[in-house]
Amino acid sequence: MLILGGCGGASQRQLLVRAEVDLGCPSSRISTRTLVDSVGTGKTVAVEGCGRQATYVQTCEDSADAPGNCTWTR
């Protein structure tokens, strides 16, 4: 499994929890592969597990109330 690092973004754990629900698969059987990781466009990650696949994009919303508020969207 590829571990995604970095500051100020949505965590690897957040991605795995979302993928567990979406794929109906335990995180121990999920693998990830970074497709895009660049400043300005964010991260795009391919996820596979239990015969299913999904692609997630890290989206961040900066506001005065929640700077660096990031999540993974499918």
| Per-residue pLDDT tens over the stretch 27-60 | 999 999 999 887 666 789 999 999 999 999 988 8
Strand partners, 61: 69
**pLDDT value of position 7:** 44
Task: Let me know if residue 36 belongs to a domain.
Answer: yes
**Domains in the chain, number:** 1
**pLDDT value of position 67:** 60
Task: Let me know if residue 50 belongs to a domain.
Answer: yes
Question: What is the CA angle 9-35-69, rounded to 5?
Answer: 15
CA 43 – CA 64 distance, rounded (Å): 23
* Mean of pLDDT values over 55-72: 78
Q: Dig out the tokens for 72 from the structure.
A: 């993974």
Residue 63: band (very low, low, confident or very high) from pLDDT cuts 50, 70, 90: low
Task: Let me know if residue 27 belongs to a domain.
Answer: yes
Task: Let me know if residue 1 belongs to a domain.
Answer: no
Task: Let me know if residue 2 belongs to a domain.
Answer: no
Q: Is the pLDDT of residue 21 over 80?
A: yes
Instruction: Report the candidate in 7, 27, 20 with the shortest Cα–Cα distance to residue 70.
Output: 7
Q: Domain residues for 23?
A: 12-73
